[in-house]
Chain A
């Protein structure tokens, strides 16, 4: 089975801190995605990547950046954390079989900014 691993389940950070959320997948998937999940808003796409060193903005990229130096790792960076970035963050990956199988999600990181 494909595994998508997010390094932290829960994080508490202070306003203004630089925050790194890490996601690693073990099945050589080309495509990786970062979503945030908020009640009543569903999942919203922050950034995605179709290849190493490649990144594309999603629907809500403001306040975030990403890094993909290796194929298996896709990092989400909050340059200066703010309280409105308190949320559940979900990483997902897929490859050319996306049509048949959809995305595989990580277990999520619940971030609280105080």
Chain B
């Protein structure tokens, strides 16, 4: 079974600061997905990373993938309150099944 670990589980950060969320996975995969979940809501797709070295950016969020290290990062630049949410990474195996991390609950404090 493919295992996916995220850290930290909880993150409280001040507005304007930078931080990185880490996603490690246990077996070879070159497909990694980041999702955002607002309280009480469902998951929305943020980034799709499909190759080693892939980097995607949108606004203050940037995601990258290192398939050799089995690691993806989600970097937050100059955080703002609107980024408060739970972020999940998910790794796909050769089929269509996704394996999700435990999620990182981010709170941005004014």
A contact set with B: CB distance below 8 Å: 31, 33, 35, 40-45, 48, 50, 58-59, 90, 94, 98-108
Question: Is the Cβ of B45 less than 8 Å from the Cβ of A108?
Answer: no
Q: How far is the CB of A105 from chain B (nearest CB, A)?
A: 4
Quick one: closest B residue to A58, CB to CB? Answer: B97
A14-B77 Cα distance, complex, nearest whole Å: 46
B100 within 8 A of A: yes
Query: Interface SS of chain B: helix, strand, loop or mixed?
Result: strand
Of the candidates B1, B9, B88, the one whose C-beta lies within 8 Å of that of A43 is B88
Contacting pair B31 A42 (CB below 8 A): no
Q: Any chain A CB within 8 A of the CB of B20?
A: no
By a CB distance below 8 angstroms, the chain A residues around B35 are 102, 105
Residue of B nearest to A31 (CB): B96
Cβ–Cβ contact B31 & A99, under 8 A: yes
From B4, B98, B102, A103 is in contact (CB under 8 Å) with B98
Write the chain A residue with the least CB distance to B103. A42
The answer, among B1, B41, B90, B103, for a CB contact under 8 Å with A102, is B90
Which of A94, A102, A107 is in CB contact (< 8 Å) with B42?
A: A107
Chain A residues contacting B90 (CB-CB under 8 Å) are 43, 102-103
Contacts of B44 in A (CB 8 A): 105
Q: How far is the CB of B43 from chain A (nearest CB, A)?
A: 5
Select one of A41, A50, A58, A102 contacting B102, CB under 8 A. Answer: A41
Contacts of A102 in B (CB 8 A): 33, 35, 45, 48, 90, 98
* B109 in the interface (beta carbon within 8 A): no
Is A43 within 8 A of B42, CB to CB?
no
Most central of A41, A98, A104 by chain B CB within 10 Å: A98
Distance, CA A37 to CA B50, complexed state (A): 25
The answer to whether the Cβ of B92 comes within 8 Å of any Cβ in the partner chain is: yes
Query: B55-107: which residues lie under 8 A (CB-CB) from chain A?
Result: 88, 90, 92, 96-103
Query: Which residues of chain A come closer than 8 Å to B45, judged between CB atoms?
Result: 101-104
